[in-house]
Amino acid sequence: MDETRKRKVGRLPKQDPAVFRYSVRMNAVTHDQFLSLFEQSQAQDKTKFILSCIFSKPVKVVQIDKGMQDYYMRLTTFYGQFRAIGTNYNQIVKALKSNFSEKKAMALLYKLEKTTIELVELQRKISGQIEDFERKYSGLWLQK
């Protein structure tokens, strides 16, 4: 086989292969601590986790509170449903105008206006709760 020809089988060689290996020994307690930190960091593999710890790169630890996550999801869904009411508002006004007399339509629009004011106030409260939640729980990324 000609030495100048390149092989066309197998994996392509890496530009900068990692050839230096080190061994670390741990007792049961330190190994449990290591595994706990590794799981919290959600790193893809232990090598990258160890290298980030050695070279003082930030290790991100995420703590997820399922109850708060569920609360946020439901609040966001509720807000989306609430906004859908606004899209139907114009359709209601057109239906009132075309199906009722002017006097009856004005009476119904007055009731609709009062309800709309209540809905706007409720929407402000929902938006405020979402903002408070985001402010309070935006620091879920802890650096160690």
- Fill in the DSSP letter of residue 141: E
- Rounded distance, CA 108 to CA 89, Å? 13
pLDDT tens by residue, 69-117 = 787 788 778 777 777 777 777 788 888 888 888 888 888 888 888 888 8
pLDDT tens by residue, 34-54 = 888 888 887 888 888 888 888
Contact by Cβ (8 Å): 65, 71: no
| Distance (Å) of CA 13 to CA 7, 8, 86 | 11, 12, 60
- Between 137 and 70, the more confident residue is 70
- Rounded distance, CA 91 to CA 93, Å? 5
Residue-level pLDDT at 142: 36
Q: What is the reported pTM?
A: 0.41
